[in-house]
Amino acid sequence: MKVNNLIFLSAIIGSGAFLFLSSCKSIPRGATAVKPFDTKKYLGKWYEIARFDYRFERNLKNTTAEYSLNQNGSIKVVNKGFNIKSNKLVEAIGKAKFAGDNNEARLKVSFFGPFYAGYNVIAIDPDYKYALIAGKDLNYLWILSREKTMPENIKKAYLQKASSLGYNLTDLVWVEQD
């Protein structure tokens, strides 16, 4: 009986470790992260232009993400938004680390302790004013801008790129920024 319990426990721990490690460095099939990537140029405040409807961002408008360097070299992430249902400003603080080479925009982000999710900058303009972000798979997508709006030609190019990767763009939520 004890041997069977030990085998079962080992299988659960091993499966959990595999899922945890494989989810940290994920990027959708066919997508490539920006390289070279300049972390210092990426830091600062970004406005969310569009996203998929996630549980943690549901009913939010005026959503922003602000990135700054922590002393240990990781990136502090502060996400904010105004919940139109509860009439309250909500904030989530997390951290990001590179999933590999610091010169490539493949990161892993955590808001919940040791659990990380893929965060991949797959398109960015030369001035770091507009960005297209892919999560670990086709269920996660963000369009970000340094301003509350973005030019139509850049929006169109980012939507075309996302569509070519297999994203269902009808699921996008266009964020109200007022």
Amino acid at 61: K
Considering the four listed CATH numbers 1.10.760.10, 3.40.50.1100, 3.40.50.2300, 2.40.128.20, the one that applies to the domain covering 2-174 is: 2.40.128.20
Q: What are phi and psi of 113, to 5 degrees?
A: 60, -125
Tens-digit pLDDT profile for the chain (178 aa)?
444 433 333 333 333 333 444 444 489 999 999 999 999 999 999 999 999 998 889 999 999 999 999 999 999 999 999 999 999 999 999 999 999 999 999 999 999 888 999 999 999 999 999 999 999 999 999 999 999 999 999 999 999 999 999 999 999 999 999 9
Q: What are phi and psi of 90, to 5 degrees?
A: -120, 150
- Tell me how far CA of residue 141 lies from CA of 3, 28, 122, 170, 178, in angstroms: 45, 10, 10, 12, 22
136 touches 22 (CB < 8 A): no
Six-digit token string for 160: 């075309």
Angle made by CA atoms 89, 137, 73, in degrees to the nearest 5: 60
